[in-house]
Every structure is written in structure tokens, then in C-alpha cells.
Structure 1
């Protein structure tokens, strides 16, 4: 969720907390009670959408990373053995073809890693007889193929997550719009009489309604204030 919306969400929570602390002052008003209940409901919906979007994004990244690491390790394991076989048999072309370090694999783009994996699978099957003595068999090719397929299936997931995140952002915009409507057009208006009858409550409410930018640092301003105090 965008930083501004996070700050706005915090403001909504602060307002609800303040109103709950002073429930005795407005509980006799049915309209006020409905408005607060509606605001709490919208806040809960925002929280659900926000948490759901974050979990999907983080989960997708973690899953893809785990599958990629597993594929990298298996490819490196196989090409190392194939390289040894190529060296022993004097196959310079195959030797050069299999000359990849683990860091090389880790630095490859996803598509390149998938292509190399498919190529290695072909190499295993083309050199099945020679590789049998090196314990690289059809089972090795099948396992590598399975890992490659699992990783490939995750490559489209980020695009799906982006689409879902876009939908979540649109949903958040709607929900924050509802919250604004409740606050600006109902609760703010219902609070006006308290300006004279309960000025402390009204003042606290106005303070709670301010959106604080928690992501901004004001080091220069703070330093300036400190200097002024010292003078």
C-alpha cells in the first residue's frame, strides 16, 4: 500500500480509537453510532485487502526464489559431471558448452536458465551411454526436467500478482473513498456541536483527523529548532 494511504489508514485507526475512548459522549446518537460502525467496517476491509495483497506478493517471490535455487543447484551438479566426462573423453566442444560456475547460473536471467536446463537435459539423453558410468542417468534428466517445469510455471506468477495488486489498489481506492465520505460528510459534521459543548473532545478529534507523514524525517528543521533554543 502506498505510503500516503498507510498514513491515512493510521489516521482512521486513531480517530476510531479516540471515539471509542469517548463513547459515552456520542452513544445516544443513532446516526453517530452507525457512522462509527461503518467506519470500523471499512477499516477492517482495508486491512484485509492490504494484508492479502502483501501476502500474495511476498509468497510469490519466496516460492519462485526457492524453485530457482533448487534448479540452479541441480543444473550445476549435472553440468559439473558432464564437464568431467567431456574432459575424460576429449570432447572439447562439450567441455566448453558445460563450462558454467554456480555463480554464472545464479546471475542468469530466468529465461536463460530455463533454456540451459533444457539443453542440459538433451545432453544427458544424447550421451546416455557415456554418462552412465558417471551416475548421470535418465532419472537425472527426468528430475531436472521436473525442476525446470516447476520453476517455469512460477515465471508467470509475478504477472498474475501484478494484476491482482492492481485490482487490490483499485479496491483500496474505493474503500478509502468510503472512509473519506463517512468522515468528511458525517462524523466531521456530527462533531461540530462538540466544539462548544465538549471543546477538549473536539480538539482531540481535530488532532486525530490530521494525517501524519510517518515516512518523512525533518532533521534540518529539528536542528534549526535546537539551535534556536540554544540561543
Structure 2
């Protein structure tokens, strides 16, 4: 990952935190919840690609660490959807069952993470029908299962076969181009449209969007991102 990609990815992490922690999220429109879920999924895809790239550049330890992060990201997408549904439906039991944080998942021990992943995936599967309005799709489950299997292999076996660094780098470039387009064409316009309804959230979003990513320049109070 080059410096520009790293700056952009760091920005997406701050934006994700701002959106996830916003109190307005409890009553947010489904379109925003779906867009946040898509953002998390795209970040997880980049984390997974970085893990593949690590096979040919930084060795098995870095590869497993990146796979751990990718799995934790994917699981947090499911947890966020379950939490949103639990809050919306007043399901106190489900709220207790989903008291996970990204920080906690990231620090879960190697031998325990696959079991935690299986538990979260089972919860999401059980509530799949109700999670649709919050941005759930079968692809999220498939992705989480795939990352869980891959992480289990890296934790208990020799790991996956090495893949060309050039191929992995090209894939990473495609993912970042897709993510930049996602911000430009979907998330930025959506947040501009919600500025009047959620002024504080919109302001925090665009502050993170401008300060962290040096490629973005703000010309107005609510800018149009120009990557």
C-alpha cells in the first residue's frame, strides 16, 4: 500500500468511526445504514487484499495479522447490523448477545477468534430476514465465512500458497479505485443530502473526510469530494 492509499484508508477508518458512533444512527434512514454497511465491506476487502499482498512481501506473521484484521472488520459489519436491528426492535436479549467492539475483536486470541466468528455468523444467519432493511446481504455472510476459513488455515496450518506481489498490488489498486468512487458517487452525496437533517453528523463526516485525506479539498462548508 503506497502513501496515498494509506492516507485514504486511514481516512475511511476515521469516517467509519464517526458514522458508527453517531447517536443519530439509531434513527437513521435505511439508505444510510446500507451505505455504511457497504463501506465496511469495502474496507474489509482491502484488508483481505493486503493480507494476500503480505504473503509475498512480509511473511506469514504479517499475513496472519492482516487476516485477523480483515476477519474482525467483516464480523463488525455483521455486529453493527445486528445492533441496529436490536435497537430498532427493542430486543434487549440480542443487544446483550452482540456487545462486541472492533477493538475487542482485534484483540481476541488467535485460537478463540474462529469460534467467536462462528457465533456472530450464526446470529446473523438466524436474524437474516429481519436484517434486510438495515443493509444485510448474503454476500456479507459469504465474505465472513470465507475470511474465517482463511484465518483458520493461517492459524493452524502452513497457510495459503504464495501469490504474485504484482497481481496483489494490481488488485489493491482496483479496490482503492472502487472505494474512491464509492465516496465520490454515493457516500459524499448522501451526507450532503443529510446535512440539514443531521448537521452535526454531516460536519463531523466532512471534517474527517478533509483532514485525513490530503487529496480532498474543501471549497464550501459542505464540500464535494474531489479525489
Q: Of the two, which has the highest radius of gyration?
A: 1
Tell me which of the two structures has the higher relative contact order, counting C-alpha pairs closer than 8 angstroms and 6 or more residues apart.
1
Q: TM-score range by the shorter chain?
A: 0.3 to 0.5
By percentage of residues, which structure has more helix? Answer: 1
Q: TM-score, normalised by structure 1?
A: 0.43
